[in-house]
Amino acid sequence: MNYSDLSSRLLHLGERLAKHAGKIDGETLGRSARRLAAHLDAFEEHLNSYLASRKSGELLLETLIRSPAAKRHLTIDLLKHGLREIAGKRLKSEDLPAAKREFIELIHEAGKQEKGVEFLQDAFAQAIHVEAGGKDKAHLQREFVRLGQLADEEFAQEIGKRTFGELRRVAGVNGIKFTDKTTKQRLTALIRRYAQRAAVNIAATRVPSHS
Amino acid sequence: MSSKVLAFINFKGGVGKTATVVNIGATLAKLHEKKVLIVDLDPQSNSSIWLMRPDRWREHVSKGRRSTFQIFDDALHGKARFDFDETVVKGVVTWTGFTDLPRLHLLPAAVELLRVEDRIHELRAPVVYQILDSALGLHFKEYDYVLLDCPPNLYSTTKTAIFSADGCVVPYVPDYLSLSGLMVLAEQIGEMREKFAPYLPPRRKPNIAAVIVSHYRQAGNVFRLAVNELELSLSQLQATGLLPDRAVLLQPYIRHCVRVAESTSEHLPVILYAPGSIGAQDYCDLTQRFVDLFESKK
Judged by a CB distance cut-off of 8 A, whether residue B30 touches chain A is yes
Whether residue A73 has pLDDT greater than 60 = yes
Q: Which of A52-61, B41-50, B252-261 has the lowest mean pLDDT?
A: A52-61
How high is the pLDDT of residue B221? Answer: 84
Contact B232 A141 (CB under 8 A): yes
Residues of A in contact with B176 (CB under 8 A): 201
Whether the per-residue pLDDT at B139 is higher than 60: the answer is: yes
Q: CB contact, 8 Å: A68 with chain B?
A: yes
Distance from A64 to chain B by nearest Cα, in Å?
Answer: 6
Least confident of A43-57, B18-32, B38-52, B148-162: A43-57
Q: Would you tell me which residues 33-92 of chain B have a C-beta closer than 8 angstroms to some C-beta of chain A?
A: 33, 90-91
Among candidates A1, A145, A205 on the partner chain, residue whose Cβ is nearest the Cβ of B182: A205
pLDDT above 50 for B164: yes
CB contact under 8 A, A125 and B231: no
> Confidence band (pLDDT; 50, 70, 90) for A58?
low
Residues of A in contact with B220 (CB under 8 A): 177
- Does the beta-carbon distance from B288 to A2 stay under 8 Å? no
CA-based nearest residue to B252, from B278, B224, B286, B227: B286
Best of B12, B31, B182 to disrupt the A interface by mutation (most A CBs within 10 Å)? B31
* A6-39 pLDDT per residue, tens: 999 999 999 999 999 988 988 999 999 999 999 9
B240 shares contact with chain A (CB less than 8 Å): yes
Whether A205 sits inside 8 A of B102 (CB atoms) is no
Check the CA dihedral B279-B282-B285-B286 and report its sign. negative
Residue B19 has pLDDT above 50, yes or no: yes
Residue range B86-101: average pLDDT? 90
Say which residue, B176 or B106, is predicted with more confidence: B106
Q: Residue B204's pLDDT band (boundaries 50, 70, 90)?
A: confident
d(CA B129, CA B196): 8
pLDDT at position B298: 44
Mutate: best of A96, A207, A211, partner B, most B CBs <10 A: A207
Q: What is the largest CA-CA distance in chain A?
A: 103
Contact B229 A202 (CB under 8 A): yes
Task: State yes or no: pLDDT of B170 exceeds 90.
Answer: yes
With an 8 Å Cβ cutoff, is B100 touching chain A? Answer: no
Does the structure show a pLDDT above 50 at B131? yes
Please give, rounded to a whole number of angstroms, the shortest distance from the CA of A202 to a CA of chain B: 6
Q: String of b and e for B159-181 (b: at least 16 CB within 10 Å)?
A: bbbbbbbbbbbbbbbbbeebbeb
Sequence ranges of the domains in chain A:
56-127, 137-204
Nearest to B30 among A63, A175, A201 (CB): A63
pLDDT at B40: 98
**Least confident residue range of A25-39, A77-91, A163-177, B173-187:** B173-187
Q: Is the pLDDT of residue A203 over 90?
A: no
Query: Would you state the pLDDT for residue B30?
Result: 92
- pLDDT band, very low/low/confident/very high, at A211 (cuts 50, 70, 90): very low
- Domains (range + CATH), chain B: 4-294 (3.40.50.300)
In this predicted structure, what is the pLDDT of residue A7?
Answer: 94
- CB-side exposure of B275: number of CA atoms within 13 Å? 14
Which pLDDT belongs to residue B250? 94
User: Is-contact A94 A76, C-beta < 8 A?
Assistant: yes
In tens, the pLDDT along B266-297 reads 999 999 999 999 999 999 999 999 999 999 74
Tell me if chain A has a CB within 8 Å of the CB of B296.
no
Tell me how far apart the alpha carbons of residues B199 and B18 are, in angstroms, rounded to a whole number.
29
Q: Are B56 and B62 in contact (CB under 8 A)?
A: no
Give dist(CA A195, CA A14) in Å, integer: 75
Please report, rounded to a whole number, the percentage of residues in chain B having pLDDT higher than 70.
Answer: 99
Yes or no, beta carbons of B242 and A207 under 8 Å apart: yes
Tell me the CA distances in angstroms from B99 to A2, A164, B55, B81, one per residue in order: 5, 59, 16, 27
Q: Cβ of A177 and B224 within 8 Å?
A: yes
Cβ separation of A2 and B235 shorter than 8 Å?
no
User: Does position A54 have pLDDT exceeding 70, yes or no?
Assistant: no
At residue B97, the pLDDT reads 83
CB contact under 8 A, A67 and B224: no
Q: For the range B30-34, what are the long-range contacts, defined as Cβ-Cβ under 8 Å and sequence gap of 24 or more? A: B30/A63, B30/A67, B30/B101, B30/B103, B30/B104, B30/B271, B30/B272, B31/A60, B31/A63, B31/A64, B31/A67, B31/A69, B31/B271, B31/B284, B31/B287, B32/A121, B32/B287, B32/B291, B33/A60, B33/B103, B34/B103, B34/B144, B34/B145, B34/B291
Across the interface, whether the CB atoms of B225 and A125 are under 8 A apart is answered no
pLDDT at position A205, please?
60
The alpha carbon of residue B181 is apart from the nearest alpha carbon of chain A, in Å, by: 8
Tell me what the pLDDT averaged over chain B comes to.
92
Q: Helices A184-204 and B222-239 meet at what angle, rounded to 10?
A: 50
pTM of the full structure:
0.87
pLDDT band at A204 (very low <50, low <70, confident <90, very high): low
Contact A117, A61 (CB under 8 A): yes
Tell me if B42 sits within 8 A of B113, measured CB to CB.
yes
Q: Which range (A10-19, A79-88, A127-136) has the least confidence? A: A127-136
